[in-house]
A and B are shown apart, each in its own frame.
Chain A
Amino acid sequence: MFSWCTDPDTLEGLAWLSCYLTTGKHMAFYRSFGTVMVLLLVTAPVALAFGFAGAMAARSHFAPLSWLGKGYTAVVRGVPDIAFFLFFVIALDQGIEYLRHRIKCPDWSEPIRQGNDFVVCPAAKMPLSTAPQWVHETYGFALAVITFAIVFGAFAANVLYGGMRAVPRAQMETAEAYGMSRRQAFWRILVPQMWVYALPGLGNLWMILIKATPLLFLLGVEDIVYWARELGGSKTSAFTYPHPDWRLYYFLALLAFYLLLTRVSEILLDRLMARLTHGQATSGGKSTDKGLAI
């Protein structure tokens, strides 16, 4: 990186540190912070869409669809999210390969589950074994995004369902009185108004999503936790930059990163909420209350 980094053995102090912190692996470490941000920015809208679909299903008058929507939220909330992450990554992968197998190799006669193996024809492998490395990484990342979206979609569905129910009933009755159909009333009256009620819950969900991102590590993505363990582990003199076990410092850096991220989100969400509830007769308006003297 820097001109003085050609011979690390002769370096000391800050010069050593500046070279150490700009090695290729450290650059990959810094890029993995970008991975986390990309995951957050991609997952949030996808999970919101899943949640919206779930909430609509739960509101449906068609009973099986309503059960599906309610069951989806109930099961995901009753079970640890990490179990879902571990489950969906394999299940989605096998499901996709199974479908491709049925389409691409219709005359394959051997069973797919052979004892402890899951065998599909080579053409159905996903991604193909000949695919370049970046395809494998992108595929793994995409699976992670879908898994996050499924789990957080269920939470979002719950929040949005609550938001929809919080819209005053009179609003919908007025819409009906004006002769709107159910569909029109839903899209023109309910959906625009529900966001104010859903926002505190959605903001909460965003914080939870931020704090769930290190679970990427368990899904096999080379994320910040992976690199912190990799770079922090003690390096013998066989390495260019030998150092003792520094994992503690790397994890402290991750802690600081997450604290910053949640703090900034919190401030922005508070501002948004203050703007939306400004002048409204909700509990948000009572902020001048100094609280109890205890």
Chain B
Amino acid sequence: MSIRACLDTIAAYGLRSIGIGERLLPKRDFTLCEHFTLIGSGLLWNLYFGILAIFFGFFLANAIAMAKANRRWWLRKPAEWFIFVFRGSPLFIQFFLFYEAFVLLPKMGWDINLGFTEITVETRWLTRAWLGALIVLILNTTAYSAEIFYGALKSIPRGDIEAADAYGLTGWKRYKRIIWPTMLRLAWPAYTNEAIFLFHATTLVFFSGFPAWRQKGDALYYASYFADKTFNPFVAYPILAGYFILLTLSVITVYGAINRRLNRHLPQEKQRRLRVRPNVIR
């Protein structure tokens, strides 16, 4: 296998997972280069689901955690139930359930004018993985993150809050300046794990009801495609594993940098290093 042929393969299949390039997947005599290219191409989906779900989930989780910590029952109860349902059931079942629910929705469309252009929002998008599965992942990670944030809220040192009160900080200002940064700092190690396992969870999408339209799938979808065709799991899955270990390491690097920033005011010996623990996989 020459380098040139491999470059051709990358040109043909590098963006195959998002529908750019060669339409037909390779059928036989798979080269190592094809393995690496297609599985790597599928990784784009894992990145897409993971990054967007974490982004939206982060804001929602803050709100849900605050709601759960609230004294008013009509805010607390719904938040508690939301967390209970999404943390207490398998993500796999949630995917199936939401897919079936989305399929049953009536097919409708709305025109939305964005000023410069007009788009049509359609309910059938919900049955596609890019939107439907993303919504499930957002809700799921929101529940897990909210529980982490809630736990951190509860473990903010009482003295910090009392000091804020003593300085006359109240309401929004007290939340923004004292409570939220401290909560985030305390929650960060656990939240890092949540992010890692959310990326792992994105591999479930195309195995749980949501169809891989025109064979546009994620890394695991292509890995299992190769393994099924060659009946040899010893090439495709280790490549997938390698990609995911790299992904996990980059998540740890990014989150570690944020962790250092959150803890930068603390004396050196008090700054805890991130430790990865399997406490939040689904």
A contact residues vs B (CB 8 Å cutoff): 75, 77-83, 86-87, 90-91, 94, 113, 115-118, 155, 158, 201, 204-205, 208, 210-215, 217-218, 225, 228-229, 232, 245, 247-248, 251-252, 254-255, 258-259, 262-263, 291-294
Report the minimal beta-carbon distance from A209 to chain B, rounded to whole angstroms.
Answer: 10
Cross-chain contact of B233 among A86, A113, A291 (Cβ < 8 A): A86
Quick one: closest A residue to B175, CB to CB?
A: A294
* Majority SS at the chain A contact face: helix
- The answer on a CB contact under 8 Å between B90 and A113 is no
Asked whether A259 and B85 contact (CB < 8 A) given A78-B248, A292-B158, the answer is yes
Pull 19 A–B residue pairs with CB atoms less than 8 Å apart, ordered by A. A75-B245, A78-B241, A78-B244, A78-B249, A82-B204, A82-B207, A83-B203, A86-B223, A155-B278, A208-B281, A217-B92, A232-B100, A247-B96, A252-B97, A255-B89, A259-B84, A259-B85, A292-B154, A294-B66
**A228 CA to B237 CA, complexed, in Å:** 29
Quick one: closest A residue to B200, CB to CB?
A: A80
**A294 CA to B229 CA, complexed, in Å:** 57
Within 8 A of A (CB), among B204-239: 204, 207, 220, 223-224, 227, 229-234, 237
Cross-chain contact of B224 among A86, A115, A208, A228 (Cβ < 8 A): A86
Check if B257 is an interface residue, CB within 8 A of chain A: no
**A292 CA to B158 CA, complexed, in Å:** 7
- The answer on a CB contact under 8 Å between B282 and A225 is no
Check if B279 is an interface residue, CB within 8 A of chain A: yes
- The answer on a CB contact under 8 Å between B89 and A83 is no
B contact residues vs A (CB 8 Å cutoff): 28, 66, 69-71, 84-85, 87-94, 96-97, 100-101, 103-104, 153-154, 156, 158, 161, 175, 179, 200-201, 203-204, 207, 220, 223-224, 227, 229-234, 237, 240-241, 244-245, 248-249, 276-279, 281-282
- The answer on a CB contact under 8 Å between B69 and A292 is yes
- The answer on a CB contact under 8 Å between A294 and B282 is no
Quick one: closest A residue to B236, CB to CB?
A: A87
Cross-chain contact of B89 among A90, A217, A229, A258 (Cβ < 8 A): A258
**A214 CA to B96 CA, complexed, in Å:** 11
- The answer on a CB contact under 8 Å between A291 and B104 is no
- The answer on a CB contact under 8 Å between A213 and B200 is no
Starting from the known contacts A80-B220, A90-B231, 17 additional A-B residue pairs (CB-CB under 8 Å) come to A77-B278, A83-B220, A86-B220, A86-B224, A86-B233, A115-B28, A116-B229, A116-B231, A201-B277, A225-B92, A225-B93, A225-B96, A232-B100, A248-B101, A251-B100, A255-B93, A259-B84
